[in-house]
Amino acid sequence: MNLTNLDLNLLVPLDMLLREKSVTRAAARLGLSQPALSSSLARLRRHFGDQLLVRKGNAYELTPLAAQLQPRAEAALTGVRQAFSRHPGFDPATSDREFRILGSDYVMAVLGGAVGAILDERAPGMRLRFEPASPPVVDQAPESLRGADAVLLPHGFLHGAPHVDLFSDTWCCVVATANEQVGDALTMDDLRKLPWVFTYLSATAFTTVARQLQALGIEPRVTAVVESFLALPHLVAGTDRIGLIQGHLAARLSGLDGVRVLPCPFEPVPLVEALWWHPAHDDDPEHRWMREVFSEAGRALPSAAPRPAARR
């Protein structure tokens, strides 16, 4: 394909239309009129020979081709931004670069404040855009790495990509303070009998410690699933459910009434959180500096330990 015959100005509206699945919302995000964006959509439809957006009820959905285009359009736009944001020299104090980081709310809660403090001090013009690492992000890891500056994920999901380990963590169990079925310590029998709330539950989206339970012969009775570690304790409080939460996050629950953190009645597999990126970023000096900021923030974390098991 001859790129000189393409109107690359259509890349931005393509990306936004596929993100928003709405001409109205996409136009508002881009600061354009609806007729102007409708005209761009018409040109995109002619180019691809596909409707891209089709009405279903009161909303629009992506066609199969549009669904394939979405991560590629996002990756292409990210590449363009990165290419045109490069400068001959790099000074963190004057850089205004934005980094798009994908990760769970757990790692953002644990590291986000420390990373933000370093940027405020050394790179006040630089910006981090944190976005959730949803199951599709993990399922399409190579595409995700092309479309983002980095992905925060523990080992076990991405392979063969450059990365730097940030910190290690352990797993704890969370139960309600009002749960009279649990004493001062959990037992393996408690894990078998009581209901569970899981963070993520699918063939590809899971926590490694949840898989470990199955390897130990325990099939948890899952009655609630949430794609948020921060929300998990709220689905435990006032119920008989058990949940699994990371030690660093458990240490931040001191102000949350209604739950207590207990050690697991088995030796949980350790969690090693890492920052992953596409090899194209290897020699980017700004990206290298950003990676070191995350590493520094990870090294500054205290060692994680379960909170005392006393009732509150």
pLDDT less than 70: residues of the chain: 1-5, 82-89, 141-142, 202-205, 254-255, 303-312
pLDDT of residue 306: 46
Same domain, 187 and 280: yes
Same domain, 58 and 110: no
Task: Summarize pLDDT for 169-219 with one digit per residue, the tens.
Answer: 999 999 999 999 999 999 999 999 999 999 887 655 678 888 899 889 999
Same domain, 239 and 193: yes
Cα–Cα separations (whole angstroms), residue 173 to 104, 167, 212, 221, 302: 19, 20, 14, 15, 20
Residue 140: closest CA among 162, 165, 158: 158
Same domain, 166 and 290: yes
Q: What is the domain range of residue 256?
A: 92-312
Same domain, 76 and 102: no
SS3 177: coil
DSSP 45-111: HHHHTS-SEEEETTEEEE-HHHHHHHHHHHHHHHHHHHHHH--SS--TTT---EEEEEE-HHHHHHH
pLDDT of residue 172: 93
Same domain, 241 and 288: yes
Positive or negative: CA dihedral 94, 100, 105, 108:
negative
Same domain, 79 and 198: no
Task: Please give the span between the terminal C-alpha atoms of the chain, in angstroms, as a whole number.
Answer: 67
pLDDT of residue 309: 43
Confirm if 40 and 8 have CB atoms less than 8 A apart.
Answer: no
Task: Summarize pLDDT for 129-139 with one digit per residue, the tens.
Answer: 998 887 777 77
Same domain, 47 and 190: no
> How many domains, in total, are found in the chain?
2
Same domain, 56 and 102: no
Same domain, 157 and 232: yes
- For position 287, which CATH number holds? 3.40.190.290
Last residue of a domain, one of 23, 48, 83: 83
Strands (E), the chain: 53-56, 59-62, 98-103, 127-132, 150-154, 163-169, 171-176, 195-199, 221-226, 243-246, 259-263, 271-276
Confirm if 17 and 30 have CB atoms less than 8 A apart.
Answer: no
Task: Summarize pLDDT for 17-36 with one digit per residue, the tens.
Answer: 998 998 999 998 888 898 99
Same domain, 103 and 129: yes
Residue 175: closest CA among 65, 306, 267, 70: 306
Same domain, 108 and 253: yes
